[in-house]
Amino acid sequence: MLQFRSKKYAVCSDEELMAYLVKGNHKAFEEVYKRYAPYMLRFFYRHLYQDNDKAQDFLQDLFTTLIDKMEYTKDDII
């Protein structure tokens, strides 16, 4: 299945995406996830003795932490 990415966010640098994330932009989060989830999942899989369930859990924890940190940062800025 084809996945279409928003051109606006697909061309953004990581720094620009993080600035959008701090503002609560969900499309920016989707772009970060699309960019990094496959790489991070492979990384976790390789380093967790090829345990896919653990790798998926670590990936979810990573992005949950990112969301939590963005909320914390957003509160500090406001």
List, for residues 2-34, the tens digit of each pLDDT value.
Answer: 455 566 899 999 999 989 988 889 999 999 999
Q: Is residue 43 part of a domain?
A: yes
Q: Is residue 77 part of a domain?
A: no
Q: Is residue 31 part of a domain?
A: yes
- For 69-78, how does the pLDDT look when each residue is reduced to its tens digit (9 = 90+)? 877 665 555 4
pLDDT, residue 2, reads 42
Q: Is residue 76 part of a domain?
A: no
Q: Is residue 62 part of a domain?
A: yes
Which distant-in-sequence residues (6+ apart) come within 8 Å of 24 by Cβ? 70, 74
How many domains is the chain built from? 1
Strand segments, DSSP code E, in 1-78 are none
> pTM for the complete prediction?
0.77
Mean pLDDT, residues 51-76 taken together: 86
User: Which of these, 16, 44, 47, 45, lies nearest to 32 by C-alpha position?
Assistant: 16
Mean pLDDT, residues 50-68 taken together: 95
Q: Is residue 55 part of a domain?
A: yes
What is the domain extent for residue 54? 11-70
